[in-house]
Amino acid sequence: MIPSPWKYYAAAAGILAIFLAAAGTYLYVDNLQRRLVRTSAQLVEEQIRRAQVEETVRTLYQERDEAVERLEHLERENARSDAEWLAPMDQIYSLEPETADDNSAAEFNRLNADLNRMLERQTR
């Protein structure tokens, strides 16, 4: 008895289905692998960018802290300078021209010379 050709067709169709399933699985896994590699590369790039941003933020915070420290130093210097200038100015204003004598003129000249020295020192 000669086997029916349908059996051969069915066997060929089964082999073809297995081959197509294997090829489809291979292509699916290959596509997943490529996407995994691409995603891994993107993750590394993102980690590098994040590290750069964090370093920039640290640098900016450090620069801000240094600027705040410098500003506080300048404010202290300004307050000290104001006190230094106000002392002779108050003494000059407290001199009364009506009761001026040689001592008050000498005191006025000394205070004026102090102010001139301070001004010269500040303009250097």
Contacts of 112 (CB under 8 A, 6+ apart): 92
Where residue 4 falls (left for φ over 0; alpha for ψ -120 to 50; beta otherwise) is beta
- DSSP-derived 3-state class of residue 2: coil
Is the pLDDT at 79 greater than 80? The verdict is yes
Per-residue pLDDT tens digits for 15-34:
999 999 999 999 999 999 99
Q: What is d(CA 51, CA 120) in angstroms, rounded to the nearest whole number?
A: 50
Contacts of 108 (CB under 8 A, 6+ apart): 92, 95
Can you tell me the mean pLDDT for 112-117?
Answer: 84
Q: What is d(CA 98, CA 113) in angstroms, rounded to the nearest whole number?
A: 22
Domain count, the chain: 1
Q: Is residue 89 part of a domain?
A: yes
Residue 62: per-residue pLDDT: 97
Q: Is residue 2 part of a domain?
A: no
Is the pLDDT at 59 greater than 70? The verdict is yes
Is the pLDDT at 58 greater than 80? The verdict is yes
- 105 is in which domain, residue-wise? 7-123
Q: Is residue 20 part of a domain?
A: yes
